[in-house]
Amino acid sequence: DTGVSQDPRHKITKRGQNVTFRCDPISEHNRLYWYRQTLGQGPEFLTYFQNEAQLEKSRLLSDRFSAERPKGSFSTLEIQRTEQGDSAMYLCASSFDTVLGGGYTFGSGTRLTVV
Amino acid sequence: GESVGLHLPTLSVQEGDNSIINCAYSNSASDYFIWYKQESGKGPQFIIDIRSNMDKRQGQRVTVLLNKTVKHLSLQIAATQPGDSAVYFCAERSQGAGGTSYGKLTFGQGTILTVHP
């Protein structure tokens, strides 16, 4: 297993366009998380899944954002009608669902630039 | 509300020195803490974690200390190397009702560590 994979690494889009990002988690992990990170800030939680169920969504996740994990494996994050304020690094992470912890493994992220 | 903050936004050290990065948290319900290292253009990389029933945990060249009385977390890096230069984040997870995890991590702003040869 090569860890958490995200695609694409970079995306430049015009304002108003739709974009979709993909995340492939570590195969043994049943939890998958999406975060957004802007320059100089720590990652901000957007949403997470346990298997195919979306268990929590942040207030940051406006109606233009939608995430899916249809088969409990890979996930997609779609942003509709992109705005310049959506420019950020979108990070995906995965973990086991144990209260014992065990770390959350992050991917390298997708950097979105809205022009 | 939940928040995690850092005392020092930047830290410069000489190669070979020990580094200490501090973090304050406000949610007493947090049960699990992680330190991450993030290099430019990369995702956060797990360094070390600690559960709330511990006050110290050691790894290779790194030690995390947890003081629940004052809600303070620190990361100590021994014999700091130029390759340690990065942004360091602490993150907390809060225990959910009934012993279940909320799942999400809350991150602080980060500390930029620069190691001079």
List pLDDT tens digits, range B64-80.
999 999 999 999 999 99
Inter-chain CB proximity B110 and A40 less than 8 Å: yes
Tokens standing for A29?
A: 């992990």
The stretch B29-49 carries a mean pLDDT of 92
Cα distance between residue A19 and residue B49, in whole Å: 34
pLDDT for res B104: 82
Disruptive mutation site among B101, B102, B109, B112 for chain A (greatest number of A CBs within 10 Å): B101
Helix, coil or strand: residue B100: coil
Higher-scoring residue by pLDDT: B6, B62: B62
Burial profile A97-112: b = 16 or more Cβ within 10 angstroms, e = fewer: eeeebebbbbbbbbbb
Please report the pLDDT score of residue A56 as a whole number: 86
Q: Tell me which residue in A48, A97, A102 faces B104 most closely, judged by beta carbons.
A: A48
pLDDT in tens, chain A (115 residues): 579 999 999 999 999 999 999 999 999 898 999 999 998 889 999 999 999 999 888 888 889 999 999 988 999 999 999 999 999 999 999 988 765 666 789 999 999 999 9
- Highest mean pLDDT (candidates A11-15, B5-9, B38-42): A11-15
State whether A106 and B44 contact (CB < 8 Å): yes
The two tokens of residue B61 are 């060249």
- Compute the residue count for chain B: 117
Distance CA B23, CA B71 (A): 9
Position B6 scores a pLDDT of: 43
**Closest chain A CA to residue B53:** A100
Tell me how far apart the alpha carbons of residues A39 and A21 are, in angstroms, rounded to a whole number.
19
Contact status, residue A27 vs residue A13, Cβ threshold 8 Å = no
pLDDT at residue B5 is higher than 70: no
Nearest-Cα distance to chain B for A88, in Å, is 12
The candidate with the shortest Cα–Cα distance to B56, out of B65, B48, B47, is B65
Q: What tokens does B45 get?
A: 């990389």
Distance CA B60, CA B50 (A): 14
Residues of B within 8 A of A43 (CB-CB) are 44, 89, 105, 107
